[in-house]
């Protein structure tokens, strides 16, 4: 039964409810239960999306998986906005027993799925960019490596969509922010190397070499950049 603010306090003190136990959680079980039930339902839907999407992915039905996962992603973003959660790890810590896997892992599977689809259809490239932008906006305090990978994926997607200038700008920002990370230079150089993304856009061997070699001056591990330069030379000579 709901207790009014001016009703006698149910604890028996003789005081009005508003002057006594109004702030105690045991007298707000209905409101709390409703909010809790809403959260549980929300995360049941997300859990189902995770599982059903994975089933379609394993069956080779990538587009169905992506659509289901994007619906789950929308639910996750809405929940995080309401709760003021700014990292995926915060969501994981709250719901480690509610969901079939960590959302910090699942979002990377979603991004990868969208990336594969984007290779053949621009609409999925746009969906991938939208998802990444929402992630960077809502969860900026997430794991630094995850954020780096998402930023690199956004830059790659701009190239896939034919937006070379935008892609260059994003890669340049990534290199400026992570001058010691070899993968920033590798991701950028790969866009110009004939060893990668064959037949998708015109390549520039000199530009690729310039980017790779700039990484050799500051970044580690050096050996992965050196491997890329060898691949570049082999592709250029037709080996």
* pLDDT per position as a tens digit, 50-101: 999 999 999 999 999 999 999 999 999 999 999 999 999 999 999 888 899 9
- Give the residue from 96, 120, 117 showing the smallest Cα distance to 53: 117
Q: Summarize the confidence of residues 107-118 as an average pLDDT.
A: 98
pLDDT tens digit sequence for 176-232: 999 999 999 999 999 999 999 988 899 999 999 999 999 999 999 999 999 999 999
d(CA 176, CA 167): 14
DSSP 85-136: --SHHHHHHHSTTTSSS-HHHHHHHHHHHHHHHHTT-HHHHHHHHHHHHHHH
What percent of the chain has pLDDT above 70?
84
Decide if 67 contacts 93 (C-beta within 8 A). no
State the pLDDT at residue 2: 44
Of residues 86 and 37, the one with the higher pLDDT is 86
The domain spans of the chain are 40-142, 162-239
**Nearest-angstrom CA–CA distance, 120 and 128:** 13
SS3 state of residue 64: helix
């Amino acid at each position: 039964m709901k207790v009014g603010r001016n009703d006698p306090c149910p604890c028996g003190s003789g005081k009005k409810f508003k002057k006594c136990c109004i702030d105690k959680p045991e007298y707000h079980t209905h409101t709390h239960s409703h909010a809790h039930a809403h959260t549980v339902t929300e995360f049941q839907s997300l859990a189902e999306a995770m599982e059903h999407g994975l089933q379609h992915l394993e069956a080779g039905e990538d587009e169905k998986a992506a659509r289901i996962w994007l619906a789950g992603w929308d639910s996750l973003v809405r929940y995080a906005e309401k709760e003021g959660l700014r990292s995926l790890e915060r969501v994981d810590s709250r719901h480690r027993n509610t969901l079939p896997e960590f959302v910090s892992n699942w979002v990377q599977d979603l991004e990868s799925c969208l990336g594969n689809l984007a290779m053949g259809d621009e609409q999925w490239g746009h969906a991938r960019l939208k998802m990444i932008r929402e992630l960077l906006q809502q969860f900026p305090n997430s794991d630094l490596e995850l954020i780096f990978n998402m930023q690199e994926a956004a830059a790659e997607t701009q190239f896939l969509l034919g937006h070379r200038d935008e892609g260059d700008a994003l890669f340049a920002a990534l290199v400026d922010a992570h001058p010691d990370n070899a993968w920033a230079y590798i991701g950028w150089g790969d866009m110009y190397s004939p060893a990668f993304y064959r037949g998708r856009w015109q390549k520039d061997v000199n530009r690729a070499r310039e980017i790779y070699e700039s990484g050799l001056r500051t970044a580690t591990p050096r050996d992965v950049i050196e491997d890329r330069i060898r691949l570049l030379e082999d592709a250029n000579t037709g080996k």
